[in-house]
């Protein structure tokens, strides 16, 4: 939650300040055993590139505490970005808080499957930390007690 709070607040503020005639991009997220795929489906007549986030690059995914329809994930990059941070935050406004929750659970299952595959493979791999919070937004809020940076 620590690394998603500010980006989510920024995204919401930007969306609220957009002109009413501007439509936010509509994307389809697909969670599978290899990670998350995203494709822009705003204009059905334009074929968009699929963006893939491999499971070994996803640090964690979480349903936002304040905006419960928002799912966010932290992607660990191989190099440091221009701002000096080696990760990116991607946030998505879902159709419902239940949908955001289902994406979170699907990502948790993806992590579990990946862990089993890595264990069965037996090869040495670079260690990356994974964390996914499956508590309800209410449980997360109760546990945080002012922990956010906002």
Model pTM?
A: 0.75
pLDDT (tens digit, 9 = 90+) per residue, 32-59? 999 999 999 998 888 899 999 999 899 8
107 closest CA partner among 40, 39, 30: 30
Tokens found for residue 10: 């920024």
Rounded to whole angstroms, the Cα distance separating 68 from 135 reads 12
| The pLDDT of residue 106 | 96
Domains and their CATH numbers in the chain: 5-136 (2.30.29.30)
For residue 150, pLDDT beyond 50: no
pLDDT (tens digit, 9 = 90+) per residue, 52-105? 999 989 989 999 989 999 999 999 877 655 666 678 889 999 999 999 999 999
Neighbouring-strand partners of residue 91: 72
């Amino acid at each position: 939650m620590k690394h998603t709070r500010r980006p989510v607040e920024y995204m919401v503020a930007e969306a609220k300040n957009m002109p009413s005639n501007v439509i936010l991009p509509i994307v389809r997220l697909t969670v599978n055993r290899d990670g998350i795929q995203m494709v822009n489906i705003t204009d059905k007549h334009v074929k968009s590139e699929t963006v893939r986030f491999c499971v070994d690059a996803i640090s964690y995914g979480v349903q936002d505490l304040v905006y419960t329809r928002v799912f966010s994930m932290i992607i660990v990059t191989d190099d440091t970005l221009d701002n000096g941070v080696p990760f990116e935050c991607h946030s998505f406004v879902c159709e419902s808080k239940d949908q955001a929750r289902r994406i979170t659970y699907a990502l948790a299952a993806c992590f579990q499957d990946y862990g089993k595959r890595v264990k069965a493979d037996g090869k040495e791999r670079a260690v990356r930390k994974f964390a996914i919070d499956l508590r309800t937004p209410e449980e997360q809020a109760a546990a945080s007690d002012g922990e956010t940076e906002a």
